[in-house]
Each structure stands twice: as C-alpha cells, then as structure tokens.
C-alpha cells in the first residue's frame, strides 16, 4: 500500500521494479517496450535473449541495468480480439503474475503501465478496470506500493456517464455556494434603495428570486457568525478554560472510531489507501497533523456520512468547501454511499485532482 495513478514516464520512476508490457519474444518492440529497452541499455536485451520468450499472461524478471529500478518484470498481455477469446482472464493473469514476481524479489514498490491498452487494442476503460481490480485484490493480502503509470491522459478513460454526472454535481455545488455567499452578503438589506448602484440592484433582485432554502442557509450562517462575534467580545470568554477543555485530537478520534466500527487497524488503513508506516506515525503521535487528503481517505474508509465527515475534518482543522473540486467530488461519492476509494481516486485523477491516501 498504497495504490496510485499518475501521468508520466515509467522509465524515470525510482521504484524497486517496473513492469514492461512486452511481446512474447521479449526482444523489444514499440511503445512502452521499446522505451524501456532504450532506457535500460543493450544489456537488457542480452539478458532477455536468455529467457526463451514468455507466454501471454505470464511474467519473467530481469535486472534493471541503466534504469533507476532494480528489476524489470516483463509480462505479455493479450491482443484484443473482441473480448470473446479469454482476453480478460489473460490480462488479469499478466497483472497477477507480475505482482507475484515482484513479491518473490522482495520488492516494496512496483510500477505498471496500462497493459494491452496500446497497439494490442484492449479498450482503455476495460483495461483500466481489470488493472485496478486485480491490483486491489492483491493488496488486500500484501503490503506493496503499486503505481499505475498513464503515459498521457489521452490513454485514460473514466466511464463517460460517471464523468458527466460528477461534472454536473460539481457545477451545481459551486453555483449553490456562490448563491449562498451572495445572499449572506446582502441579507441585511430589506429593499433596494435609489442610491444603490444599478448592478447591485440587479443582484438584489436575483437574491429575491433565489430558492427559499438557500436564503435560509445564508441567514443561519449569518446568525452563527454573529453568535461567534458576541462570544469573542464577551467578557465571560475565558481562553484559559477553553484551552483546558480542548477536544480530542485527530489521532484520538481516528482510533476511537476504528474501535467503534469494529475494524482492524490494517483493514482501516488499507481501505483508506494509506501506507502502514504513515498509520503507525498517526497512532503513536496524539498530536499528528495530517493532510486534508489523509483525513478524507480515513473518512471514506470509516464510511462516514457527510455530517460525520465534516466533524472529523474539524478535528484536524479542515472543512469541506464547495470551492474545492476535490472536496465536491468526495462529497458526491459519500452522498451516494459509495466508499470505494479506488473508484473515487480514478475520478479525482480524471479531474486532475490529488488522490486520497497516497
């Protein structure tokens, strides 16, 4: 753990092993195969000549030579013939054999290209689904840092229906946030005056056409703000007392909720796509300050609803914001009860946002 998707050049990654989407001869070719051979130097081809090729769905290992990795794991993916010739089973086998080969070499980190999705013609969205599902299954039982390297966004395909639905959700939440903020800014004005500039009069008219629910939210927000101002100004506001009664920390809240959910620590950090070493730091340091992505990752792993997620974020000093695309996308999935962090991260990658847990 964890699993991440990145855009980049696999030959430049400093990992224990990279996977080569090779042909059955293992003697080099085009695409990723050719790029790896060029970057590794001629000694890679010399060793590959001793391996007597590789069957589709299997994998063989060589040294990395001039590459910034210890090993190259060569695997042969299937050529797409319409889907009725065991293509999916063979593609899963290619990923599985590669992961097992990395484990046998005691690799802690391995990087994959999207196997068979280039000249072999495997549909990119289906190739992605097979890759993620096979890697996910492996990581349930094993500790390994796995990266899926997409050479360019043109070779990445998120389900078009899901992409459109998330886009609409993001646009709606951003527009709603703008309306609420506008409503709050002019809510104390009961009617436009003659002295009010024409642009502001138009905005005032728009405010009165806004849904009643949005105006109520804005009014509540203003009331809460006024209460905070009064509390700050109050002579009874005893800072020392507040400091003596600090709320539980993020670390304390996380460990408490893991126990309340009846989860094992390993189950939680794996569902959160969090590295075991990072989780150990959080567990051992009551004052650990996590990133917002880490908090959201654990909120997903714990299957918190939106109100619980907001409260959990406050433990670390954060809040959900409709001006933050990552927050809105995560909110979209939580709102629908979808806590699959792999699917969430695929969506975040498609929208050029930082992934959770990684």
Work out the average pLDDT over 10-26: 97
Sign of CA dihedral 29, 32, 34, 40: negative
Question: Whose CA is closest to 100, among 50, 70, 63, 139?
Answer: 139
CATH fold of 3-155 reads 3.40.220
Q: How far apart are CA 355 and CA 4, in angstroms?
A: 7
- Lowest mean per-residue pLDDT among 68-82, 114-128, 169-183, 226-240: 226-240
Calculated CA dihedral for residues 62, 15, 9, 127, nearest 10 degrees: 80
Q: How far apart are CA 332 and CA 327, in angstroms?
A: 9
Q: How far apart are CA 155 and CA 5, in angstroms?
A: 12
Residue 339 has a pLDDT of: 97
Q: How far apart are CA 315 and CA 222, in angstroms?
A: 23
Q: How far apart are CA 199 and CA 202, in angstroms?
A: 5
Tens digit of each residue's pLDDT (9 = 90 or more) over 39-92:
999 999 999 999 999 999 999 999 999 999 999 999 999 999 999 999 999 999
- Lowest mean per-residue pLDDT among 140-149, 221-230, 255-264: 221-230
Helix (H) / strand (E) element for 137: namely: helix 124-141
Domain ranges of the chain: 3-155, 160-245, 247-358
Tens digit of each residue's pLDDT (9 = 90 or more) over 297-344:
999 999 999 999 999 999 999 999 988 999 999 999 999 999 999 999
Order of all β-strands in the sheet with 145-150: 3-7, 145-150, 109-112, 17-22, 71-76, 59-63
CB half-sphere exposure, 148, CA atoms < 13 A: 25
Tens digit of each residue's pLDDT (9 = 90 or more) over 197-214:
555 555 555 555 555 555
Question: Whose CA is closest to 46, among 73, 65, 33?
Answer: 65
Helix (H) / strand (E) element for 61: namely: strand 59-63
CB half-sphere exposure, 296, CA atoms < 13 A: 26
Residue 304, both tokens? 């918190």
**How far apart, in Å, are the Cα atoms of 48 and each of 20, 22, 60, 63?**
12, 11, 9, 10
Residue 301 has a pLDDT of: 97
Residue 204 has a pLDDT of: 54
Structural contact between residues 60 and 67, judged by C-beta atoms closer than 8 angstroms: no
Q: Look up residue 210 and give its DSSP letter.
A: S
Q: Look up residue 248 and give its DSSP letter.
A: P
Work out the average pLDDT over 281-293: 95
Residue 244 has a pLDDT of: 46
- Name all contacts of 65-69 with Cβ < 8 Å and 24+ positions apart: 65/40, 65/41, 66/39, 66/40, 66/41, 67/11, 67/18, 67/36, 67/39, 67/40, 68/12, 68/13, 68/14, 69/13, 69/14, 69/15, 69/16, 69/17, 69/18, 69/111
Structural contact between residues 99 and 45, judged by C-beta atoms closer than 8 angstroms: no
Among all chains, which residue has been given the structure tokens 């599902």?
133
Largest CA distance in the chain: 89
């Amino acid at each position: 753990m964890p699993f991440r998707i990145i855009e980049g050049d696999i030959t430049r990654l400093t990992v224990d092993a990279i996977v080569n989407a090779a042909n059955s001869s293992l003697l080099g070719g085009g695409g990723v195969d050719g790029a790896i051979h060029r970057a590794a130097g001629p000694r890679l081809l010399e060793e590959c000549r001793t391996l007597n090729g590789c069957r589709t769905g299997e994998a063989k290992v060589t040294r990395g030579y001039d590459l910034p990795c210890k090993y190259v794991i060569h695997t042969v993916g299937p050529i797409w013939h319409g889907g009725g010739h065991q293509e999916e089973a063979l593609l899963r086998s290619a990923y599985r054999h590669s992961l097992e080969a990395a484990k046998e070499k005691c690799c802690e980190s391995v990087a994959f290209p999207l196997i068979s999705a280039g000249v072999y013609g495997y549909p990119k969205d289906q190739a992605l689904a097979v890759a993620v599902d096979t890697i996910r299954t492996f990581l349930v039982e094993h500790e390994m840092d796995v990266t899926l390297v997409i050479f360019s966004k043109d070779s990445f395909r998120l389900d078009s229906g899901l992409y459109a639905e998330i886009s609409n959700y993001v646009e709606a939440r951003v527009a709603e946030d703008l309306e609420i903020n506008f409503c709050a800014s002019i809510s104390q004005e009961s009617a436009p005056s003659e002295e009010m500039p024409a642009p502001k009069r138009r905005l005032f008219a728009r405010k009165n056409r806004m849904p009643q629910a949005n105006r109520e939210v804005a009014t509540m927000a203003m009331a809460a703000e006024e209460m905070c101002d009064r509390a700050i100004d109050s002579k009874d506001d005893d800072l020392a007392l507040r400091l003596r009664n600090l709320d539980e920390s993020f670390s304390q809240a996380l460990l408490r909720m893991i126990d309340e959910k009846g989860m094992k620590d390993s189950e939680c950090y794996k569902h959160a796509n969090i590295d075991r070493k990072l989780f150990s730091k959080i567990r051992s340091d009551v004052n650990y300050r996590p990133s917002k992505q880490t908090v959201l990752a654990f909120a997903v792993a714990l299957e918190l609803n939106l109100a619980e997620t907001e409260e959990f974020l406050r433990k670390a000093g954060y809040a959900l914001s409709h001006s933050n695309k990552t927050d809105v996308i995560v909110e979209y999935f939580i709102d629908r009860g979808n806590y699959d962090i792999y699917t969430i991260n695929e969506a975040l990658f498609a929208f050029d946002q930082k992934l959770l847990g990684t």
